[in-house]
Structures are given as C-alpha cells and as structure tokens.
Structure 1
C-alpha cells in the first residue's frame, strides 16, 4: 500500500515540476526575403525559450518586433507574457556565436544589420503570467542591403541627369 502512495506522490511531484519548467518551441522559417511572422501560445505559469531559425540570401537589414497579445477581463489578466525578450544570433539555434543585439518585447521595432548571407536565429524568452497562460507574436522583416555596384550605378545615373540638365540650360540660354 505504501508503494502505491509513494508512486502517486512521485507522479504528482513530477507533473508539478513539469508545469513550471521551461518550454521550448523551434520554428524553421526558411529563407526570408520580405516579412515573416508567427504566433506562440504558452501554458500558464511556464517560462519559455522559443526559437525562430531563418536564412537570408544576401547581407540584409533585419527589423524585428515582438509583443504579448494581452487579454483582460476587468482586472483579471487572462492572457499575458512577462519579461518578453528577443536576442538575434548568427547560425541556427543553438550554434550561434555572435549576438547582434536584443530587445524587449512590446516596446517598438528594432533594426539589426546582418552582414553576410546565411543562417541566423532569434531566441525569445519570457514567462506566461495570465490565468490561461499567454500568447505572443514575433515579426521579422528583411531588407537587402544594396551592393557597392548599385551605389556606383546610382551615382553614375545622377551624373548623367546632371549633365543633361546642364546641357538643356545652356541650350535654352
């Protein structure tokens, strides 16, 4: 009989530990050439460490946002995330060695320069504090950084336009 009680107590203890443990979800977004967004749901009282792996085809500027999708009923918080934080890393998770920066969720958008084509990831952490857990969204937008040749062509085009304008002005006089 003591063996059954011990087994039940052990099962309850293990489930209680699992309820407060860190959850981890990994999403592979593939190659991003424009915008990407995803939504995560987290159980109540759980700390989480989620990851979005992605690739870029050329040096780019990454703009990132993250926000808790809050739901309140009067003074009762039904869905909420506390301490939402995002870190931008090189390589796929967990092999990142260079942190390009971090930002707090819900405080606007942040821009990072990603210097080479290849694999990157964002790590998102926080704790679900709502009565029914929490939901949050992450958005990533990638804009390619122009190559030096593009700037050279732009300057050459401006020079040609200036020469044409000057010639027209001289012919009008």
Structure 2
C-alpha cells in the first residue's frame, strides 16, 4: 500500500512540474517583420513549447535566448534562469533542424511553403523560475534570375577591369 501511495505522489509531483504550451501563429510574414515573445515559467518547471506556423517560400531564422538574471542576495545564484534550452524545427513528423547549447546562435533553415512547428524545451531552475526570448523571422528566397543577373554583373565588372588594365599597359 505504501508503494502505491509513494508512486501516486511521485507522479503528481512530476505532472505539477511539467508544462507544455502550444502557440498557433498562423502565417509568418516575410522580413523585415517577425514574431517575437518572452516566455516565463515558475521555479523547477520542465517545459516544451510548440510554435505552429506556416510560411511562404523562404528561409526561417530561429533564435531562442535565455534571459539569465542573477540574484540580488546571492551573486552565485540565479533569480531567473533556464538550463538546457534547445529548439528544433519540424515539418509534420520530420525534424529538419536542431540547436542545443542554450540557443544563443540563430539558425537558418531553407523552407518550402508549408506548415511547421518549432519546439523549444528546457527547465527553469532559477530561484523565481526562468525566462527566455524567442524570435522567428522569414526572409524570401531569391529567384534564380536574381543569381543570374548578379553573375552577369560580376562578369561585366571583370571585363571592364581587364579592358582598363589593357589600356593602361599601352601607355607604359
């Protein structure tokens, strides 16, 4: 009987300390607009947040950053902190990108038009919980004609430089 009560209590504690929130963002606009937010949790909470959205053709830039605040009374402790922050990009059941290490460096993933999910997970372990900031930005993918025009322009610059150098050689 004691084992059953202990198991039930342990399960209740595990459920109380876990959290999952889903944010439905709709279609993300192309740059320079973006989606950004600050998310906070109470102390000792394991979380996994889901950000559902769709994009036109483009490149998705994702960053999630821990906002660590040191304690005023104990400079060796954090008043607000999140450990093991990570985020991953999913299309349906297929993971197409992952960042661990606190998410301090934005990742960029080329996306076809469609629906996606960014999962952000971690554990708030500060005295008063934890806070993180998230930013999702979509930039358009250049058309192949754009690259073609750029290459033609570079070729013309090279030709002009070569002709100028040849003209300068005649006078020397």
Which band: TM-score by shorter chain?
Answer: 0.7 to 0.9
Partner of 2:121: helix, strand, or coil? strand
Deviations along 1:132-164, one digit per CA (max 9) or x if unpaired, are 211111123333332221111112223334444
Aligned positions, number: 156
Partner residue of 2:18? 21
Distance (Å, rounded) in 1 between the aligned partners of 2:78 and 2:61 = 29
Is the alpha carbon distance of 1:17 and 1:166 closer, same or farther for their aligned partners in structure 2, counting shifts above 3 Å? closer
Deviations along 1:104-153, one digit per CA (max 9) or x if unpaired, are 25353143332412222210111111222111111233333322211111
Distance (Å, rounded) in 2 between the aligned partners of 1:136 and 1:52 = 14
Say if 1:29 and 1:52, in contact at 8 Å, map to a contact too. no
Partner residue of 2:78? 77
Partner residue of 2:64? 66
Distance (Å, rounded) in 1 between the aligned partners of 2:17 and 2:95 = 28
Is the alpha carbon distance of 1:13 and 1:98 closer, same or farther for their aligned partners in structure 2, counting shifts above 3 Å? closer
Structure 1-normalised TM-score? 0.72
- 1:20-39 → structure 2 map (5 Å cutoff): 20-28=17-25, 30-34=27-31, 35-39=34-38
Distance (Å, rounded) in 1 between the aligned partners of 2:162 and 2:77 = 70
Report deviation, 1:83.
1.7
- 1:120-139 → structure 2 map (5 Å cutoff): 120-139=116-135
Partner residue of 1:144? 140
Partner residue of 1:8? none
* RMSD between superposed Cα atoms in Å: 3.0
What 5-or-longer segments of structure 1 have no aligned partner?
Answer: 1-11, 91-95
Distance (Å, rounded) in 1 between the aligned partners of 2:66 and 2:164 = 58
Which of 104-113 and 47-56 deviates more? 104-113
Is the alpha carbon distance of 1:66 and 1:167 closer, same or farther for their aligned partners in structure 2, counting shifts above 3 Å? same
